[in-house]
Chain A
């Protein structure tokens, strides 16, 4: 309101992944995760959470290989899109402008490759499809939704070979703020947690292959909902990776599990509310177990190695 150039990136908008079986993935994301299918094309399907008003927060595309196509962040105004486009170009990265009509459910966006090897999108103009509750005397939650039915997407964690380089890009060029970092014995960043939405993280980066997706996460309101999610996963014979447990980093409560094609999902609650002047929390490698899984105090190999 006080700056003509808007306020920059608001939050995670959507994650686009590829899956080798569109029908199986759709069945899982609607029946087990409890998302709503918003739109379907020949080789793609689009989903949103029940409380989200924008067109989609997850898209899946048929491809023989499992992976991430891109992740997309919502900016507060069209001016922000232009300003961030200038900043990314000034950094020396080529920006591709996607015109209105080229992508399902949204208008103009910009796309570019990040130093972490991911395709990132920024978008402001997103088609509004509305939440499930309406705007007149709404009940606080819809009834009869199958599965876990999270109200919204929360964050994603990606992998990169050079975490410090990726971090500098996300912070200096895109305006992310560093809430927590994990340092190895040499003081080198091996994990960073970055936010724009006054939450512990909207985007995190850990050491690994460039361009990798470790997981994306949906928000739940309460620890009891995390427990209920574990029941639903077990009932549906979904492989639980870790949890229910708690993170030292972000303080969140969590479960990790895999969709039927191998992409890791998380449901997450808790955390805290950092102001922009929040002092960064540092974790040292000798505390990595508690940092990641506070109750276990140990990492499992699968969690460290498996990504898509």
Chain B
């Protein structure tokens, strides 16, 4: 049945200890495993082994982004489809990408990102028992979002990336921002019936704009802003609302300069829902509905 949802992001950081401290103490993720140059983390309510991998590198940015496949047969079907379109696909056995990793198809998308399609990542359980569980664990530190939500990437040819994800990977376009000449400045795509699992915005190929973590409500977003400020984490924008996706968001930077978001709201998407279009003149409201103007840092700073 194809791609289910975003599975994980692998993020480059030049200081693994500092980044791990930030993702564990401020974002409030749980460390599940460690290699000499990589740290594996997950959100508290996730059952799978990891949703964030921090990788030591002399720079910042996105090493890879993974999506979860529903069925094992999807690996075959998608690899045939990708190879039929001339995409070089690497098939990796479970475990070969490190602890917990499932069977994986790995390829380079035209947007310049390394994409991993995964089936069967190790399940480690969330932090709650399966019998008579309380609704959430107590005593978690930091923001502690329940799960990863979406990833926002940049590339030169947003139309090309959007069509690649739509036509080859089965994503559906929920929203788009069109330039006055009709080409896409941004495209929002989903597989999970939410407003977006992945989005693209105009920028350099391979660039990483942000990873978004889910929060349950606006009050949690306010608490997240308190936690960022308390820890001296630089807030980029928000708490505010998006026109595109209708979600509420708060953006901030990890110590390496990778942008994070905490996000809530949005809407349910049937597969036959017609996409929403934003015009270039309304781009300010599309991105920041309350401010009505996009700040240049948000449009241009990426990792």
Q: What is A's interface to B at a CB cutoff of 8 Å?
A: 1-3, 7, 10-11, 51, 53-54, 74, 76, 135-141, 151-152, 197-198, 219, 221-224, 246-248, 251, 269-270, 272-273, 275-284, 287, 290-291, 294
Contacts and interface: CB of A to CB of B under 8 A. Distances in A.
A79 to B, nearest CB: 13
Nearest to A134: B276
B180 to A, nearest CB: 14
Given A137-B279, A137-B286, A197-B193, A3 B218 contact: no
Given A136-B279, A221-B217, A222-B264, A279 B47 contact: yes
B291 interface: no
B170 A275 contact: no
Contact of A137 (B131, B170, B241, B285): B285
A122 to B, nearest CB: 15
Contacts of A248: 132-135
B268 A11 contact: yes
B240 to A, nearest CB: 11
A161 B285 CA distance: 53
Interface magnitude class on chain B: 35 or more
Given A197-B193, A198-B192, A53 B273 contact: yes
Contact of B135 (A10, A278, A294): A294
Interface string B103-116: 00000000000000
Given A10-B271, A137-B277, A198-B4, 5 more contacts: A2-B2, A2-B74, A139-B289, A277-B123, A282-B132
A282 B276 contact: no
Interface in B69-119: 70, 73-74, 77-78
Contacts of A280: 130
Contacts of B214: 273
B277 A2 contact: no
Contacts of A141: 246
A197 B5 CA distance: 13
B1 A137 contact: no
Contact of A136 (B131, B217, B218, B276): B276
A137 B70 contact: no
A43 B77 CA distance: 50
A74 B68 CA distance: 24
Interface string B232-271: 0000000001110010000000000000000011011011
Say whether chain B's binding surface is mostly helix, strand, loop, or mixed: loop
B135 A287 contact: no
B267 A51 contact: yes
A206 B109 CA distance: 48
A28 to B, nearest CB: 25
B135 A279 contact: no
Contact of B218 (A53, A198, A224): A224
Given A137-B243, A137-B278, A279 B270 contact: no
Contacts of A223: 216-217, 219
Contact of B219 (A224, A273, A279): A224
Nearest to A151: B267
Given A2-B73, A152-B268, A275-B68, A140 B132 contact: no
A222 B217 contact: yes
B146 interface: yes
Contact of A76 (B73, B265, B271): B271
Interface string B125-164: 1000011111110000000001100000000000000000
B205 interface: no
A3 B242 contact: no
Contact of A272 (B1, B5, B45, B285): B45
Contact of B241 (A140, A197, A283): A140
B289 A282 contact: no
B130 A10 contact: no
Question: 4 closest A-B pairs (Cβ-Cβ)?
Answer: A1-B170, A140-B246, A251-B135, A222-B217
Contacts of B289: 139-140
Given A136-B277, A275-B68, A282 B265 contact: no
Contact of B132 (A3, A138, A284): A284
A273 B289 CA distance: 27
Contacts of B246: 140-141
B274 interface: yes
B150 to A, nearest CB: 12
